Amino acid sequence: MCQNFRMQTKLLGSSAGGGFPQWNCSCTNCRALRKGELNGKSRTQSQVALSSDLKSWFLLNASPDLRAQIESTPELQPSSSGQSIRHTPIAAVILTNADLDHVLGLLLMRESQPIHVYATKSVRRILTEDNSMFKMLDQKQGQVKWTDVVSETPFELCGVDGVKSTLICTPFSLPSKYPIYVGSERASELSREEAVLALVIEDTKTKKKMAYLPGIAALDESWLKRIGSCDLVFCDGTFWTDEELKKLSGAPRTSREMGHIPMSGELGSIELLSKIDRRVTKVFTHINNTNPALNENGPEYACIRDAGLILGHDGMVFDL
Ligand SMILES: [Zn+2]
């Protein structure tokens, strides 16, 4: 029935938390964009959707901008042929961590709609035990189905109704921390391996693979090899330099300390990704509004393009 379809991936949101422009930011980029003086695009907070049959869609994280992203994507909207007026083609959500810009969209998916959420046990506990607002997802019995995922243990993606897709997801634990709102006492009770995941998703029909790494502090040999075996990778494009936010807003931590490999410099993502087979489509996402690469007239944007890499923007579609 669906043999002719390929895995389709939609980049619905390509910005880091805050979006571009960010409500309280007057950095060079945000200012120029607002004035209409930037050759660049506004961006919503990071969101990816993928499907292997163009009917059921899986969301990678749940952006605070999810409502607008759904409204700009007809495939994610309820069809007029549905049995009841309330339904959704969104089969499930896979969370990579508990960051607000990755989970707030779950609260937009209430309205008594049954949903399936995959997360590590620790991320599930942070949301359901520590944050009472998430009880809105569980007003009716069976409204939300949580499935705990374990690093390096592949699982088949399926909807809340149990209908399986042909997609297999393998999560990989990344060395990182829980968000600040979790607090150090609570974080100390939770497994550090369950704080942040990267995902590799394979369509078993076509053997095509994509990797999703919206927050990764370093691309080590094992990751470079793994990415080299994929057809498409969405890589952390948060900051251009390691000191970017420190210099601009006096942030206490460097990009790497915040869990984000910078694009430029030695062992930066541009240098490392450009060494990988050119047949792998490499797309930067989770781009912070301060990143100078957002200026498409600038040398940073040219550097990305000349390395054979893509600066992701909202609305991009990739067929595998
Ligand atoms: Zn800004």
Ligand 1 mean position, distance from CA 278 (Å):
32
- Identify the pLDDT of residue 4: 61
- How do beta strands 155-158 and 164-174 pair? antiparallel
pLDDT tens profile 214-246: 999 999 999 999 999 999 999 999 999 999 988
- Identify the pLDDT of residue 111: 85
Ligand 1 mean position, distance from CA 251 (Å):
14
Query: Using CB atoms within 10 A of its CB, is residue 32 exposed (0-12), middle (13-18) or buried (19+)?
Result: middle
| Whole-number Å distance between alpha carbons of 69 and 65 | 6
- Identify the pLDDT of residue 235: 98
Ligand 1 mean position, distance from CA 61 (Å):
23
pTM of the shown model: 0.95
Position 195 confidence tier, pLDDT thresholds 50, 70, 90: very high
Nearest alpha carbon to residue 201 among 44, 92, 279: 92
Ligand 1 mean position, distance from CA 17 (Å):
11
Position 53 confidence tier, pLDDT thresholds 50, 70, 90: very high
Position 252 confidence tier, pLDDT thresholds 50, 70, 90: confident
Ligand 1 mean position, distance from CA 274 (Å):
27
Q: How many CB atoms lie within 10 A of CB 164?
A: 12
- Identify the pLDDT of residue 1: 46
Show Cβ contacts of residue 110 under 8 Å, excluding neighbours closer than 6 positions: 136, 137, 139
Ligand 1 mean position, distance from CA 215 (Å):
19
Ligand 1 mean position, distance from CA 290 (Å):
5
From 79-83, 127-131, 279-283, the region with the lowest mean pLDDT = 79-83
* Residues with Cβ–ion distance below 5 A, ligand 1: 22, 25, 27, 30, 289
Ligand 1 mean position, distance from CA 204 (Å):
41
Ligand 1 mean position, distance from CA 33 (Å):
9
Cβ atoms of residues 277 and 309 within 8 Å: no
Sign of CA dihedral 228, 229, 233, 237: negative
- Identify the pLDDT of residue 82: 61
- Identify the pLDDT of residue 135: 92
Position 12 confidence tier, pLDDT thresholds 50, 70, 90: very high
Ligand 1 mean position, distance from CA 37 (Å):
14
Order the strands of the 310-311 sheet from edge to edge: 155-158, 164-174, 196-203, 209-213, 232-236, 281-285, 310-311
Ligand 1 mean position, distance from CA 139 (Å):
38
Ligand 1 mean position, distance from CA 102 (Å):
19
| Whole-number Å distance between alpha carbons of 216 and 256 | 8
| Whole-number Å distance between alpha carbons of 310 and 273 | 11
pLDDT tens profile 203-217: 999 999 999 999 999
What value does the mean pLDDT take over residues 17-42?
97
Counting every residue, how long is the chain?
320
Ligand 1 mean position, distance from CA 36 (Å):
14
From 94-103, 108-117, 285-294, the region with the lowest mean pLDDT = 108-117
What percent of the chain has a predicted confidence (pLDDT) above 70? 98
What value does the mean pLDDT take over residues 120-130?
97
Ligand 1 mean position, distance from CA 319 (Å):
32
Token code pair at residue 153: 């243990």
Q: Taking all residues of the chain, what is their mean pLDDT, rounded to a whole number?
A: 94
Does position 283 have pLDDT exceeding 70, yes or no? Answer: yes
Position 259 confidence tier, pLDDT thresholds 50, 70, 90: very high
Position 3 confidence tier, pLDDT thresholds 50, 70, 90: low
Does position 24 have pLDDT exceeding 70, yes or no? Answer: yes
Ligand 1 mean position, distance from CA 178 (Å):
24
Tokens 């992203």 belong to residue:
69
What value does the mean pLDDT take over residues 182-210?
96
Ligand 1 mean position, distance from CA 22 (Å):
6
Cβ atoms of residues 88 and 75 within 8 Å: no
- Identify the pLDDT of residue 2: 47
Ligand 1 mean position, distance from CA 297 (Å):
17
Ligand 1 mean position, distance from CA 30 (Å):
4
